[in-house]
Amino acid sequence: MVYAGYVPAKIPTVANELDRAVAAVTSLEALEVISKLLYNAAISPKDDKFRRVRLSNAKIRATVTEVPGAVELLLAFGWVKDDDAEDTIVIPAGKYMSMKEVRMVEDQKEVVRKQQRAATTEAIRRGPAAVSPS
């Protein structure tokens, strides 16, 4: 019901710590890998190979470990450092990933893509001298 003269208000959502951790990662490559890790853990919750990530793995190191905020994001999702191996993070027993976490990362990927498109469009509008070679 809308009263005359009053605009229906949309209450803004309050960003929690997990939302801030997701928003802190702006590397599309890191988000792709994190999304895949979460997806695999969500669809195969009992499979130990999807519940453990070696941070020293070349692909993980290049796309996740060296990106600011990416490891912190995995820790915010519930991964913990393994006591047995110092360069490994695991999902603890009793903790399961869901598609909700995957959707959060997918939404952030879309935000990053939009920002990249906007930056490219703005560079093109400024002229050829402003476009950096990729």
pLDDT of res. 60: 96
Query: φ and ψ at 81, to 5 degrees?
Result: -70, 135
Contact 72, 23 (CB under 8 A): no
Residue type, position 45, single letter = P
9 band by pLDDT with thresholds 50, 70 and 90: low
13 band by pLDDT with thresholds 50, 70 and 90: low
For the stretch 19-29, pLDDT in tens is 999 999 999 99
CA distances from 73 to 24, 31, 66, 120 (A): 8, 10, 13, 27
pLDDT of res. 8: 65
Classify residue 26 by its DSSP letter.
Answer: -
pLDDT of res. 121: 92
Residue 100 pLDDT > 70: yes
Q: What's CA 32's distance to the chain center, in Å?
A: 8
Show the CA angle centred on residue 113, arms to residues 110 and 116, nearest 5°.
155
Domains and CATH numbers, the chain: 17-112 (1.20.58.2190)
Cα atoms in the Cβ-side hemisphere of radius 13 Å centred on 7: 3
Measuring CA to CA, which residue among 107, 111, 75 is closest to residue 91?
Answer: 75
Measuring CA to CA, which residue among 129, 23, 13, 115 is closest to residue 76?
Answer: 23
For the stretch 44-93, pLDDT in tens is 999 999 999 999 999 999 999 999 999 999 999 999 999 888 899 999 99
Residue type, position 102, single letter = V
Phi/psi-derived region of residue 106, left when phi > 0, alpha when psi is between -120 and 50, beta in every other case: alpha
